[in-house]
Amino acid sequence: MITIVIGILLISVGAPLFEALLSKLTLDSGTKIISEDSMTTFSERYSQPFTLQTDQTCYIEFSNYSPNVTVYLFILTKNEYDYYKTLDGSNPTSGENFILYRRLVGSGPIVTTGLTSVTIAWSGSTYGNYVFLEFRGNNLYSIPGEYYVMVRGTNAFGGNENVQFNIVVRVDGPGDMLANLIVIAGILVISIVGLIWLYSIFYNKDGGEKDAKR
């Protein structure tokens, strides 16, 4: 009886719990500050590495609520990152294709595909915007590999070179796979207990009939 309860708990509690906790892994999160030098010097830019496996997705939340600050985000492959790091100049200003979700005040979400960079400016319609990006190596299909999220920016306020923004970088975790394995384990536990129970019933029945004949 206890074994059956364990099997049921694995299916009803264990699987959803692992799926919720490990569905996405957070690589970086919080408010970041870089220098205006990031516009002319590659090594001064914010960079967050991540790795994608087949059919895996990177999710990026990006926002800027700082007056006078304009920030630019793009994604590079590791080869591109290594190349431009050696040059340590103002390039590049764009990268790989990604999908962008932007919600404007008073309107529904706007979905844009095929973008190679996104800008949130301190004035105009993008000020204070929160944007959500999905990246799979390409905006149409999965390309496994190593990548970098890059951010550069400027501060229009004289005497202040700090560029502040908010970012969250996540990738698909093993939650779905573990949840499926736990469900399978729970079903196997219940099935094995059921088979043992059925075997014991038929075994006792056959044994009882043989004893009666004696």
pLDDT at 101: 83
Check whether residue 157 and residue 181 sit in a common domain. no
Using one digit for the tens of pLDDT, what is the confidence trace for 116-152?
999 998 776 556 678 899 999 877 789 999 999 999 9
Q: Length of the chain in residues, anyone?
A: 214
∠126-132-133 over CA atoms, to 5°?
115
pLDDT at 206: 57
User: What is the token pair recorded at 2?
Assistant: 């206890």
Check whether residue 53 and residue 17 sit in a common domain. no
Tens of pLDDT along the chain (214 residues) come to 666 655 555 556 554 555 555 568 899 999 999 999 999 999 999 999 999 999 899 999 999 988 889 999 999 999 999 999 999 999 999 999 999 887 655 556 677 888 899 999 877 655 667 889 999 987 778 999 999 999 999 998 878 899 999 999 999 876 566 556 666 766 776 677 777 767 777 776 655 555 555 5
Using one digit for the tens of pLDDT, what is the confidence trace for 23-44?
688 999 999 999 999 999 999 9
Distance in angstroms (rounded) separating the CA atoms of residues 106 and 189:
52
The CB density around residue 182, as the number of other CB atoms within 10 Å, is: 20
User: 10 by DSSP, 3-state: which?
Assistant: helix
Check whether residue 124 and residue 29 sit in a common domain. yes
Kind of pairing between the strands at 58-63 and 162-172: antiparallel
pLDDT at 1: 61
Check whether residue 11 and residue 80 sit in a common domain. no
Check whether residue 114 and residue 194 sit in a common domain. no
Give the type of residue at 124: G
Check whether residue 102 and residue 63 sit in a common domain. yes
Distance in angstroms (rounded) separating the CA atoms of residues 60 and 112:
15
**Total domain count, the chain:** 2
Distance in angstroms (rounded) separating the CA atoms of residues 59 and 136:
9
Check whether residue 5 and residue 99 sit in a common domain. no
Check whether residue 15 and residue 113 sit in a common domain. no
Distance in angstroms (rounded) separating the CA atoms of residues 118 and 126:
10
Check whether residue 147 and residue 186 sit in a common domain. no
User: What is the token pair recorded at 150?
Assistant: 């890059």
Check whether residue 10 and residue 28 sit in a common domain. no
In 3D space, the residue among 82, 21, 27, 30 whose CA is nearest the CA of residue 50 turns out to be 27
User: What is the token pair recorded at 59?
Assistant: 């999710």
User: What is the token pair recorded at 63?
Assistant: 């926002």
pLDDT at 133: 93
Check whether residue 128 and residue 48 sit in a common domain. yes
- Residue-number span of the structural domain to which 138 is assigned: 24-172
Check whether residue 77 and residue 165 sit in a common domain. yes
